[in-house]
Amino acid sequence: MEKLLFIDGCVSQRGPASRTRALADAFLSAFRESHPGAEVETVRLETLDLKPFLPAALDGRDALASAGAFDAPVFALARQFREADKIVAAAPFWDLSFPAAMRIYIEHISANGLTYHYESDGCHGDCRAKRLAYLTSGGDFEKPESLGVLYWKQLSAMFGVPRFDYVFAGGLDAEPARVPELMRTAEEAARRLGREF
Ligand SMILES: Cc1cc2nc3c(=O)[nH]c(=O)nc-3n(C[C@H](O)[C@H](O)[C@H](O)COP(=O)(O)O)c2cc1C
């Protein structure tokens, strides 16, 4: 059965009214409709309570990797990410990228020898997924150099995921009166992407 991994980074003071969550819901409901046989597995960053890697934890993880012990719990999130057929990540645009909970999650999935490895010409990805999509909403309008989007685009390449797509619902705090219109357009883009994903 095809597996879609949903990385739920919709950390929001708006709770269920989160604009980022609305994008994720639009994507996921369209995906489920058009892929009735697929399984959606969710990893909710807000409840994971992950710790950033400090030197002692890195030493421990490196020792396990050197021993080939990739079945150790410290690699659980990386194994889950590596095995997904398709991946969708969602997070609000915070401080020019995304919430720190997502950055720490990225530390956990970036496991040399499991999700990527080095060769003499550089980094090569080892993940199964053929597609990754990133959904985000921001107070400001989208710019070509918007970092959350660029970050996930480059992570896709690093992990060997050939196709990257994104939806950015921008300008939501710049033009509060236009929020319904801006969200309608972005949710429709998310639905279109989910349908054909
Ligand atoms: C802590 C925090 C940091 C933010 N940083 C930015 C930012 O750097 N750029 C921006 O355009 N909007 C920023 N915003 C605004 C949010 O991106 C915007 O309101 C977004 O729609 C929130 O999504 P939500 O409704 O899912 O919570 C920030 C909001 C918060 C709470």
Q: Are 172 and 139 in contact (CB under 8 A)?
A: yes
Residue of the CA atom closest to atom 9 of ligand 1: 96
Distance CA 16, CA 18 (A): 5
DSSP conformation letters of 93-151: --TTS--HHHHHHHHHH--BTTTEEEETTEEEE----SEEEEEEE-SSPP-TT-HHHHH
Query: Residue 138 CA: which ligand 1 atom is closest?
Result: 17
| Ligand 1 center to 66 CA (angstroms) | 40
Decide: pTM greater than 0.85.
yes
Neighbouring C-alpha atoms within 13 Å toward the C-beta of 174: 10
Both structure tokens of 108 = 């956990």
Q: Which of 134, 173, 179, 187 to probe ligand 1 with, by most ligand atoms within 8 A of CB?
A: 173
SS3 content of the chain, % helix, strand, coil (to 5): 45, 20, 35
> How many whole angstroms from 99 Cα to the centroid of ligand 1?
9
Do the beta carbons of residue 72 and residue 65 sit within 8 Å?
no
Express as a percent the part of the chain with pLDDT over 70. 100
**What ligand 1 atom has the least distance to the C-alpha of 96?**
8
Tens of pLDDT along 27-86?
Answer: 999 999 999 999 999 999 999 989 999 999 999 999 999 999 999 999 999 999 999 999
Give the residue, by CA position, lying nearest to ligand 1 atom 31: 94
> Using 50, 70 and 90 to split pLDDT, how confident is the model at 145?
confident
Q: 188: domain CATH number? A: 3.40.50.360
Dist. CA 95 → ligand 1 center (Å): 7
Asked whether the predicted pLDDT for residue 144 surpasses 90, the reply is no
CA–CA separation, 113 vs 76, rounded Å? 14
Domain count, the chain: 1
State the closest ligand 1 atom to the C-alpha of 93, by its place in the atom list counted from 1. 17
Question: Are 76 and 115 in contact, with CB atoms under 8 Å apart?
Answer: no
| Structural domain containing residue 125 | 3-196
Tally of CB atoms within 10 A around 149: 23
* Residue 123, beta-bridge partner list: 118
**Residue nearest atom 28 of ligand 1, based on CA coordinates:** 94
Tell me, in angstroms, the distance from the centre of ligand 1 to residue 138's CA.
5
The single-letter DSSP state of residue 73 is: G
Residues 6+ apart with CB under 8 A from 38: 1, 2, 3, 4, 31, 32
